[in-house]
Structure 1
Amino acid sequence: MTPLMPPVKRQPEPLCSIFLMPKPEYPLIDSDPHASRVIRYMRPSDYATWAGYTAGAPAALWAWEKMDRTGFRMRPVYYVGGWLGFAAGFLIAYSRSSMRFWGWTENAREEARDLEELTQRAREGKPLYGESSQPMWVQAAAHRNSQYSQLKFSLFPMLNLVNHPFHGTDPAKYGVQAEPAVLESQEGLRPGEMLRRKLNDAAKPESSKDA
């Protein structure tokens, strides 16, 4: 008889791999764009999606009522459905526009517009991403809260409404001689690196921690 092989113990995969963001297929424009930029850079297809949800929600309720009559006064229900469709359509259109800023979808049009717009601001001596009256720690906190928040719109809609310098790009491409602004801990670690270290430490066996 062939002896049974003992089961091979697999090392647990580091938890950090679950939380890594996908590598953009297109150029990164802005990792945390201000809400005004996201809306200004929307394409006609985004507005069509927004309008479709706005009109589609009450239309679906109307069709449902036609198929299965309730006898209720439906006009207030249609109003509520329209507002819900309007809000859902806006969030979906906002997410579509944001993904182009992140480089997750085709963004040639947005890249050219961003380069022209911010290069002009650099020539005029203006801050690339606008001025803010908030202290730097507030800007940093706002950035940490709003970056990639579009991925959790279903849980808690949050938009970036604070001008800050943390956008994940090199300002040199706009003609500004300055170092890219990044958040770092006292150990010199960036947010993604800090999370990766914590998750890797949590995944280590207890024996290696004691050693």
Structure 2
Amino acid sequence: MAQTQSSQTNYPVIDIDPHFKRVVRYFRPSDYVVWAGVTASGPAFMLMMERTGGPSKGLPIALKLSTVLGFSAGFLLSYQRSSLRFWGWTENSKEMEKDRDEMAKLLEKGEPLYGPEHMDEFNQKASSWFSKYSALKFSSIPWFNFANHRSHGVDPKKYENN
């Protein structure tokens, strides 16, 4: 059963618990720029600190570590930006159009809108409970939705009219 939207947003809600692959597939070029910028900022900061603080023997390791941390943080930030568009919290006209086309193709083929479900009803709900709005909790634990379930906060009937 579809759940109702729990908060008022300025833009239409696409999905309150999108699958990981779908969020990444809907990245905009600006998300990749943010990801690259955050990735580059870690080593840039380390090099700046080396110039102001003097040479250090541990710089190569620190550069590698800051690059890995920057890469991870950049991905999480880009993922969160994409998720905000799914939730209708930021402008999402491109995503709405892409979603409409994607769902219409799935309906034509007779496939389930959110992928095949391999879990029983209780486990689907539990999976949904843990992963809804999980991109807001990245500061404590990165958690993504890798499960297909029916709890997406939108009425699937809206795709039947297109």
TM-score normalized with structure 1 length: 0.71
| 1:150 pairs with 2:135 | yes
TM-score normalized with structure 2 length: 0.92
User: Following TM superposition, by how much is the alpha carbon of 1:71 offset from its aligned partner in structure 2, in angstroms?
Assistant: 2.6
| Higher RCO (C-alpha under 8 Å, 6+ residues apart) | 2
Describe the superposition over 1:164-211 as per-residue Cα deviations: whole angstroms up to 9, x where unpaired. 1111111112118xxxxxxxxxxxxxxxxxxxxxxxxxxxxxxxxxxx
Determine what percentage of the aligned residue pairs are the same residue.
45
Equivalent residue for 2:23?
A: 38
Alpha-carbon RMSD across the aligned residues, in angstroms, is 1.3
CA–CA distance in 2 between the matches of 1:80 and 1:69? 19
User: Following TM superposition, by how much is the alpha carbon of 1:94 offset from its aligned partner in structure 2, in angstroms?
Assistant: 0.3
SS of aligned partner of 2:44 = helix
Unmatched tracts of structure 2, length 5 or more: 1-5
Larger Rg: 1
> Residues 58-207 of structure 1: matches in 2 within 5 Å?
58-175=43-160
SS of aligned partner of 1:143 = helix
User: Following TM superposition, by how much is the alpha carbon of 1:112 offset from its aligned partner in structure 2, in angstroms?
Assistant: 0.6
CA–CA distance in 2 between the matches of 1:36 and 1:87? 17
User: Following TM superposition, by how much is the alpha carbon of 1:119 offset from its aligned partner in structure 2, in angstroms?
Assistant: 1.1
Answer 1 or 2: which has greater helix percent. Answer: 2
SS of aligned partner of 2:149 = coil
User: Following TM superposition, by how much is the alpha carbon of 1:22 offset from its aligned partner in structure 2, in angstroms?
Assistant: 4.8
Total equivalences in the alignment: 156
CA–CA distance in 2 between the matches of 1:57 and 1:101? 29
Q: Which amino acid aligns with 2:92?
A: N
Equivalent residue for 2:3?
A: none
CA–CA distance in 1 between the matches of 2:99 and 2:147? 18
Q: Which amino acid aligns with 2:57?
A: F
User: Following TM superposition, by how much is the alpha carbon of 1:70 offset from its aligned partner in structure 2, in angstroms?
Assistant: 4.8
The runs of at least 4 aligned residues of structure 1 exceeding 4 Å deviation read: none
Q: Which amino acid aligns with 1:26?
A: Y
Q: Which amino acid aligns with 1:135?
A: D
User: Following TM superposition, by how much is the alpha carbon of 1:73 offset from its aligned partner in structure 2, in angstroms?
Assistant: 2.9
